[in-house]
Structure 1
């Protein structure tokens, strides 16, 4: 019982720190006025973890029941990547092991924010220009297996170089969501390019609903480079006296923790559940631990791994690896 209460308290404290407290405090202490509806919101995050953890995420029987798990290989016509995906209602997670993604190394992480309405990415990109940032913009394509790449989503990168953490903005393309081979649901409103439409509704058969908090450790240089993108998207930003930032989009809180490059990586993820868990459960998944309940949240913690410090750019204006997605 003491262990259960300790875990429960840990989840409550982490949730309060990452989500509830920061979400309530951010509007009063933010450097910018909070938008009621940001142009862009958290879409998904990816992380390069160690092989043991990647394999455990792929094969864990418990995790397969807990979340809508899929193992997909993406192909943009020039390179491929294989990810382990855990999909919620509007958000998802993506994990790689060594060799699964081109040019990504231990400790690398990425985070996408996206538009739910057609045209909002263009507005956010214009805002980024107004902030003095000259972004990289292009269209990500994918090959559905017939050798003919099709437009997948439009992308805005705030920079061409990074150390360990990269964030980008994206907007799904109408022709992708309406491709009859993919069977996405019809648009719920004019200009619907939403995360909800893209993820479909298989999350209802599992416990995991959405990502509502994530803590990522990265370098101060990466934080400085990536945060302007979130400002341009209308996401509330709070600079912390202890270092790093909190970003809040109305549902998901992102904490960036400044560390040396060799200490980079994902640290904590807070998940909302479809229904409160009456009994707590703790599951070891490789070098990570998933604490579920009691209550409406789960906390996933990751042991630090030895990252590989490097500043990467391919010299063509785009980061070395693409904006991975489902």
Structure 2
């Protein structure tokens, strides 16, 4: 969801804030671990929703045309219109989380460049985005940038989609982090094809995403590693902390854990920015390891109930 470009166009957003962050660690968690983390995360207000990254054209085209990905995950190539913008994404969607990939020159401006990326964390309960905004103030971000996103399903009748906050309205270098909360009106609209609420105030990721994942191998994203310029990293850390993630920082980056997903952000130069690795839990264990080469990336599935997708470094 490329709301960052719409945000950049909104001249009403003038607040700017600067805040001042790899550790190493990789891996993913199985389904049981993710469920346990979710059950014990009552203090957590925001959870990993999705990330996007611009990959090289060869890889983007291979992803778009991969027969294996259509068997492995709830995979979709979709063109979306929202907030006056239109974009085509390649989506791998799980029970609660997903990843979105673009190719070089798919998008306008600096977002056309290899390595551009972003991260969305979201509230599962109505009102938790406001609580996270209050928590941001305690971290020194008293005037975050806000934006309301709409969605048009193609009939020219946009509806409220979600609210967002960012720690700054200043232009990011390569990585755009934001927090969001879906609108009840979006779920209520039959065009959204979402599930009914399971409890009052349910604006959850699980409700938003379809249950098609259950017929595939991929269940959810458990680990993510992205190269991020230092200034963008600094603007990301308060957002994750305000959302209740456990954040460990070093001079080389940060690792944030919570709600079943670990996010590793490496501090890199702009030319090294972008998606490096995604780990996923599976709906069932597989006995043997399968490797699928997709463009300039490798998806390794199994053994066990996990998969790891790695992306080659830029040439």
Counterparts of residues 1-326 of structure 1 (less than 5 Å): 17-19=26-28, 36-103=42-109, 104=111, 105-133=113-141, 134-160=143-169, 161-240=171-250, 243-305=252-314
SS of equivalent residue, structure 1 residue 181: helix
- Name structure 2 gaps, 5 residues minimum: 1-23, 34-39
- Name structure 1 gaps, 5 residues minimum: 1-14, 25-33, 307-326
The TM-score with structure 2 as length reference comes to 0.85
Report if aligned partners of 2:26, 2:223 keep a CA contact under 8 Å in 1: no
Question: How far has the Cα of 1:240 moved from its partner?
Answer: 3.4
SS of equivalent residue, structure 1 residue 177: helix
Question: CA distance change for structure 1 residues 221 and 16 in 2, over 3 Å: closer, same or farther?
Answer: closer
Question: How far has the Cα of 1:37 moved from its partner?
Answer: 3.5
How many residue pairs get aligned? The number is: 279
Cα deviations across residues 32-68 of structure 1 (Å, max 9, x unaligned)?
xx96441000000101011111111111111110000
Question: How far has the Cα of 1:130 moved from its partner?
Answer: 2.5
For 1:320, the equivalent position in structure 2 comes to: none
Using the alignment, how far apart are the partners of 1:36 and 1:190 within structure 2? 16
Question: How far has the Cα of 1:305 moved from its partner?
Answer: 2.4
Question: How far has the Cα of 1:131 moved from its partner?
Answer: 1.6
Question: How far has the Cα of 1:177 moved from its partner?
Answer: 0.9
Cα deviations across residues 140-165 of structure 1 (Å, max 9, x unaligned)?
01111121221111111112221111
Cα deviations across residues 154-207 of structure 1 (Å, max 9, x unaligned)?
111112221111110001111111101222111000100000000121000100
Question: CA distance change for structure 1 residues 121 and 266 in 2, over 3 Å: closer, same or farther?
Answer: same
The TM-score with structure 1 as length reference comes to 0.82
SS of equivalent residue, structure 1 residue 163: coil
Question: How far has the Cα of 1:19 moved from its partner?
Answer: 4.3
For 2:10, the equivalent position in structure 1 comes to: none
Question: CA distance change for structure 1 residues 234 and 285 in 2, over 3 Å: closer, same or farther?
Answer: same
Cα deviations across residues 42-98 of structure 1 (Å, max 9, x unaligned)?
000101011111111111111110000011111125221100011000000100112
Using the alignment, how far apart are the partners of 2:64 and 2:257 within structure 1? 30
SS of equivalent residue, structure 1 residue 267: strand
Report if aligned partners of 2:28, 2:281 keep a CA contact under 8 Å in 1: no
Using the alignment, how far apart are the partners of 1:267 and 1:174 within structure 2? 34
